[in-house]
Structure 1
Amino acid sequence: MAGTDEDTVAAADDALYVLTAVLLTPAKFPSVLGDDYPEACAALGLPPLADGYGLVLGQDGDGARWTVVVDDVSLVAVAVASWDCGMEYDLSPDERTVVTALPGWPLAVAVAAPGVPAPHDPGPESADLPALRPPDTTVWGPAQRRLGADEIALQ
């Protein structure tokens, strides 16, 4: 027999339900993570690469939040551009492009994957690092200053 039902369930639990993605490149990065690209990379514990990274934010089968860092920036850029145009795009990074999987989300995400438990941080048995969290919006600091500057720039 090629596989068992237990293998299928285990594969489903390991699946990442992609909710959104963002670019982390020298030209475009979430400014809430830092004033410049190297600082944004450092916030995630990543070395700055010339081509940058794609950050894929999703949930596993248990509902845990994960940020999958990939080095296939073009794949993530196409997905984001497609979604911005209202088109569907199945963002499924190849395992060879995965740099690391970080627990949590560094940015606020307002949606959740249907059919899985509510988003939560992975348990300590699943993650060696503390979970990433979006900046605290109840206090003023560098992250809030950068968010404010981004809003003004959009106007």
Structure 2
Amino acid sequence: WEQISNQDDKNKCDYGVYRNIIVRPQWIHRIPDSSSNFRAQYPSNNNNTNNIEYDRIYTPLLLFINKRSGGQSGEKIYRKLLHLLNPRQVFLLENDQTIFNALDIYSSLSNIRLCVFGGDGTVGWVLGRLAELYPSLNNPPVSICPLGTGNDLSRVLS
């Protein structure tokens, strides 16, 4: 993602084919008082562009990966995704705090989407944390990339 450039301006990245789901580095700001130390937000109202237009154009994707799922294939997928997307939007699942911090960082971006790479246990775990954070069922849409052995949950939801 960082190696693609616009032909007219060699210093400006066009973000390639995934431009609509990539979180721009300039959207992420350090917030010392936050539990996650960062906050993502769309740029302020310059060039007469407002958040409604950003919501229409961008659907930032957050990825949660269990590196131990699928015969350790999660680790390979993680490394590949780091080259395709902004590394700040790809998370290795280690504990509940990883999920909470990721959602805290991107809480001000509307229109985010989540993708969970893992087995039934991983998917249930992430969905459970989402239910805690979004009790009124207004949570972001979640997709599943099954990496487990049985993947019964993925089959039922498809």
Name the TM-score class by shorter chain: under 0.3
TM-score by length of 2: 0.27
TM-score by length of 1: 0.27
Q: Write 1 or 2 for the structure with the bigger share of helix.
A: 2
